[in-house]
Amino acid sequence: MTDASGTAGDTPPDTNGKRRQIRPKAERRQQLIDATIRCIAQHGLSAVTMQMVTSEAGLSAGIANLHFESKENLLRETLRFVAQEYHDGQIDIMEGSSIPDLSERLDALLDFQLGRGVTQRQKMSVWFAYYGEAGARPVYQKIVSTVDRLAAQKLEAFFAEIISEGQYRDVDSRDLATGYSALIDGLHLGLLVTPRELTKRRARSVAREFLRRAFPRHIR
Amino acid sequence: MTDASGTAGDTPPDTNGKRRQIRPKAERRQQLIDATIRCIAQHGLSAVTMQMVTSEAGLSAGIANLHFESKENLLRETLRFVAQEYHDGQIDIMEGSSIPDLSERLDALLDFQLGRGVTQRQKMSVWFAYYGEAGARPVYQKIVSTVDRLAAQKLEAFFAEIISEGQYRDVDSRDLATGYSALIDGLHLGLLVTPRELTKRRARSVAREFLRRAFPRHIR
DNA sequence: CCTTGGAATGAATGGTTATTCATTCCTGAT
DNA sequence: ATCAGGAATGAATAACCATTCATTCCAAGG
């Protein structure tokens, strides 16, 4: 980790080294949130300390309390960020005028939900760490509920479009959306806890099968 | 909670009061595990302290370290207990010669998985609290994996029976079992985190719908 | 009734951690 | 080049917590 400040040049234009750096507030906050995510993934939510986070961010001990008022605040904002990121991604795809074909859009959604970005252990760990605490912390429940509700509505509307286009009978878009969301959550859980038994490839195939049974004319 | 020791009798046969009570080792262990479950559900895994647990159990501070060597041990044994209980219940039903009819057995399984016993907030909270930490703690992963694998095999075999009896085509029992398990997990998660949006009744209906689409001649 | 093994207690201990704040020293404005 | 504002630092502090163990006292056997 000791980088090359080498011999002569003492103030090179690069941004590394141990010199104190002053950065915009927003940037520091994000830097700390990112570090928090890594720490939760690596050590588990219950083992995360402020020292750990600030050290992971490469900053000094007191800085997290400077930018977030308390540890609780930092954790809350970290959850908010992860939840937002996930749901924004989903909604972007579902509203997406970028992909006019419904079949392709369905595929894109599946790709996003079980693809590289979301199923990185890091993000999944954070996700479920908070879920685990949600039963006891109304604050967490509220954050997740808020973003979740919007995503659920969009998904329901999206499924309704597909049902209409495919003339599917005996299918309720709301129940189907709930089931699909639950299935995806459950698959994420499986990927996190029993990666040996459930590979990413098989998770995708299982989810695809669910959709195929509901929308046979839109999948495959 | 102060019960009727009433007036005179100072050594009644009841087990209450504040008097020091000596009990078998196994009983104390279970008492502490039960208290741990209640504490995790109420305060969240990361907030549980030994004081909290022993006080909840109505015992003295040092007793948890006496019967379990450490806090880590207590938490590990608590997870093992909850995992066992859940999977034993499932397996009992699936192996159940007590219910010969496959349709009825399927219903019984659903009843168990989304019925009173399992979906009590207490048990769900504990379940997901550990899942949240599993990403960072191989010990937890192992405990869950072990019981999970057995239950998954039984479920696959059970589904295979149904597929055979119903002559269902284009259905893979393994993928279906994985999907069903994931769906149930996801529904539990929804019941825990967003109880406002997902009622127990609707969760059951969603799961039932999944099974009906796979085994139309066995459901309804 | 007395004795004794060991279950249970709870005050004390030592280690850990969130938070504070006096000090340092970048950085942009003048 | 100088200066003021405030971002960043990190040592100090106070609170908390798991664990220990000397002491207490229940209960079974004699």
pLDDT in tens, B45-54: 999 999 999 9
Q: What is the Cα–Cα distance from B131 to B53, expressed in whole angstroms?
A: 21
Q: pLDDT band at residue A7, thresholds of 50, 70 and 90?
A: very low
User: CA–CA separation, B59 vs B50, rounded Å?
Assistant: 11
Contact B133 A129 (CB under 8 A): yes
Residue matched to tokens 């996003």: A112
| B189: chain A residues, CB-CB within 8 Å | 131, 182, 185-186, 189
Chain B contact probe: residue of A124, A181, A208, A219 with most B CBs at under 10 A? A181
- Nucleotide D25: closest residue by CA–C1': B20
Q: Determine the distance in angstroms separating the CA of B150 from the nearest CA of chain A, rounded to an integer.
A: 12
pLDDT tens digits, one per residue of A92-131: 999 877 888 999 999 999 999 998 877 678 888 899 999 9
Mean pLDDT of A145-170: 96
Residues B21-38 pLDDT 10s: 999 999 999 999 999 999
Alpha-carbon distance B202 to B193, whole Å? 15
Mean pLDDT, to the nearest integer, of B39-43? 96
Task: Please report the sign of the dihedral spanned by the C-alpha atoms of residue A164, residue A166, residue A172, residue A176.
Answer: negative
Degrees to nearest 5, angle at CA B137 with A129 and B82: 75
Min Cα separation A192/chain B (Å): 6
pTM to 2 decimal places: 0.91
Which of B44, B189, B206 has its CB closest to that of A136? B44
Asked if B88 and B102 touch (Cβ cutoff 8 Å), the reply is no
Quote the tokens at residue B116.
């009173």
**For the segment 13-32 of chain A, residues whose CB is within 7 A of strand D:** 20-23, 25, 28
Q: Which residue is nearest to nucleotide D11 (CA to C1')?
A: A61
Query: Distance (Å) from the C-alpha of residue B219 to the closest C-alpha of chain A?
Result: 15
Angle at B203 between CA B201 and CA B206, to 5 degrees: 110
Q: A118 in the Ramachandran plot: left (φ > 0), alpha (ψ -120 to 50) or beta? A: alpha
Which residue in chain A is spatially nearest to B199 when comparing CA positions?
A178
Which amino acid is residue A207, in one-letter code?
A
Q: For residue B172, which residues of chain A lie inside 8 Å, CB to CB? A: 209
CB of residue B13 closer than 7 A to nucleic acid strand D?
no
Nearest to B181 by CA among B81, B114, B101, B97: B114
Q: Which residues of A touch B45 (CB under 8 A)?
A: 46, 132-133
pLDDT in tens, A36-61: 999 999 999 999 999 999 999 999 99
pLDDT of A14 reads 40
CB–CB of B44 and A209 under 8 A?
no
**Strand C: positions under 7 A of a protein C-beta atom:** 6-12, 16-21, 25-27
Query: Interior CA angle at B75 toward B72 and B80, to 5°?
Result: 125
Tell me what percent of the residues of chain B surpass a pLDDT of 90.
Answer: 81
B28 touches strand C (CB under 7 A): yes
Give the model confidence (pLDDT) of B140-194 as tens digits.
999 999 999 999 999 999 999 999 999 999 999 999 999 999 999 999 999 999 9
E strand or H helix at A130: helix A121-134
Q: What is the pLDDT of residue A17?
A: 57
Instruction: Report the alpha-carbon distance of residue B187 to residue B200 in Å, rounded.
Output: 9
Model pLDDT, residue A5: 36
pLDDT of residue B9: 35
Mutation for testing the A interface, residue in B148, B188, B193 having most A CBs under 10 Å: B193
Which bases on strand D have an atom closer than 7 Å to a protein beta carbon? 6-12, 16-21, 25-27
C-alpha A81/C-alpha A215 separation (Å) is: 33
